A = this chain, B = another copy of it.
């Protein structure tokens, strides 16, 4: 653990190519190890950055980065005056990959195509205004689109777009590119809110997805913003077999 500091400069320039043990990754791993081996128990206060830096023979910033990343994961909790402690309820979130429909279909070796069911320019309806925090009368684009995998319905997409946030989309016919793909490509966003649920297909939804009314569908809703500016809200329906996977 505690090899004395190497003055970094040119004195003993670290045996060329050897992975330094006092990198933030190594420190992160060591702390993880102590948690898993119960050296430090949940709820326990661990030594301060200064102390750990001394123990590991590295700069405080290095320890700081290791601990910061563990805190992002939720494994430790940090407070200024109070120090760092092992979380009682570690890790409470996972990363969920957001698929681009075409890639997702093609990744399964199926052929992709889509079909625009409707495309209308409307004023924002009440529900959408509330959800996106937009004033009355805001022009929006409402698009309904069906995605296919090998000519079988794969996903039904019902989307509202805030035109002012993506002006170029007003003239886009969505002939070669689906709204999904267009937005992913041309409308960067910094914030996203998603909702996941299971539901029973309505009559129309069942027809579109070629399943029985009342059959289970996986519902994936997503709203995106770019720096407080709402961009789009979409509701996507998948036949029951749909599956999303995430690895933290």
Chain A residues with CB under 8 Å of chain B are 29, 32-33, 35-36, 42, 73, 75, 86-98, 100, 184-186, 188-200, 214-219, 226-227, 229, 238, 240-248
Contact = CB atoms under 8 A, between A and B. Distances in A.
How many copies the complex holds: the figure is 2
A227 B33 contact: yes
A87 B188 contact: yes
A-B pairs, 5 with minimum CB distance: A216-B216, A198-B198, A198-B218, A192-B248, A90-B188
B196 A229 contact: no
A26 to B, nearest CB: 13
B199 A216 contact: yes
A188 B44 CA distance: 13
A245 B94 contact: no
Nearest to A243: B197
Given A95-B93, A198-B198, A190 B246 contact: no
Given A89-B185, A188-B87, A197-B218, A95 B96 contact: yes
Contacts of A29: 227
A131 B39 CA distance: 29
A216 B198 contact: yes
A98 B90 contact: no
Given A192-B248, A227-B32, A247-B191, A198 B238 contact: yes
Contacts of A184: 89-90
A195 B245 contact: yes
Contacts of A42: 185-186, 188
Nearest to A90: B188
Given A188-B36, A217-B216, A226-B36, A92 B98 contact: yes
28 contacts: A32-B190, A32-B226, A36-B227, A73-B190, A75-B188, A75-B190, A88-B185, A90-B184, A90-B189, A91-B98, A91-B189, A91-B190, A94-B95, A95-B96, A191-B247, A192-B246, A194-B245, A194-B246, A195-B246, A197-B240, A197-B242, A197-B243, A198-B199, A198-B216, A198-B219, A198-B238, A215-B216, A216-B217
Nearest to A226: B36
A197 B94 contact: no
A185 to B, nearest CB: 6
Nearest to A245: B195
